[in-house]
Amino acid sequence: MKAAGVRHVRGVTGLRALGESALREIEYTLADGSSHREPASVLLSHEGVVPSIHMTRALECDHHWDTRQACLAPVLSAWGQTSREGVYVAGDAAGIGGALAACVRGELVALGVAQQAGRLSAQAAEQAGAPLRARLHGLLRMRPMLDEMYPPRASIFNPPDDTIVCRCEELTAADIRRAARIGQPGPNQVKSYTRAGMGPCQGRQCGYTIAHIVAAEEKRPVAEVGFYRIRPPLKPLTLGELASLDIEDEQA
């Protein structure tokens, strides 16, 4: 991007996408309080990554709240096994650590599965796993510092009332705040009141923002407020895909 001469603007807040039927402009505020508009046809926004927990939530595996990364992550054994026997998690779904760490976690899970299946003795698994654990420790050594230096911006969890937080159902932060004032609900009750999280993304885009809004309205820790209850299908399916499922063969 530098080589192409793309302008780099720092200290941007209050980013807004403007346009009726399509994106026409972006608006943003700088540290000195000045507001700026630029013509735009494409807007890419990135606020960090979190583990994909929909599968492990649907399986009712135990999760813990990662304070540094402001997200849930599955509780795992040293071999990557969840609280449900036989269910393992590898890669960034186990916690954000980067591509190389994800690969090493996959190797450790493979050893754990082989051990559980009786294909590898506990001693052999430990012997093969020791250098992998040492490598994983080295790869994750910088993670606490990075998480401390670059935490999620507080403002993304406390958007203005007119901000659309559930894009699938076109619900604003004000809609969620109003629902959160009805008897101290959690995210699942807010979903019932407003349909937030019922769209195609199933809460992947809005889940944490809505949990933080509910927590702020109820003056409770977000870890206590929790997250959506997840049920299959985990991703949108067509009627053709549903009709082609051979359930009888799978049950047999």
What's the confidence (pLDDT) of residue 2?
A: 83
Q: What residues have CB less than 8 Å from 62, skipping those under 6 apart?
A: 74, 75, 82, 83
Q: Where are the beta strands (DSSP E) in the chain?
A: 13-18, 25-29, 35-39, 63-66, 71-74, 164-166, 171-172
Q: Before 160, cis peptide (omega within 30)?
A: no
CA distance 106 to 100: 10
Query: Which residues are bridge partners to 25 per DSSP?
Result: 18, 39
Given a contact cutoff of 8 angstroms between Cβ atoms, the answer to whether 71 and 50 are in contact is yes
Q: Classify residue 232 by its DSSP letter.
A: S
Instruction: Output the CA torsion sign for 66, 69, 70, 74.
Output: negative
Is CATH 3.40.50.10470 what the domain over 154-225 is classified as, yes or no? no
Burial class (CB in 10 A: 0-12, 13-18, 19+), 2: exposed
What's the confidence (pLDDT) of residue 250?
A: 56
Domain range annotation of the chain:
6-45, 54-148, 154-225
What's the confidence (pLDDT) of residue 155?
A: 84
Q: Which portions of the chain are predicted below pLDDT 50?
A: none
CA distance 118 to 126: 14
pTM of the model: 0.84
Say how many Å lie between the first and final Cα of the chain, rounded. Answer: 55
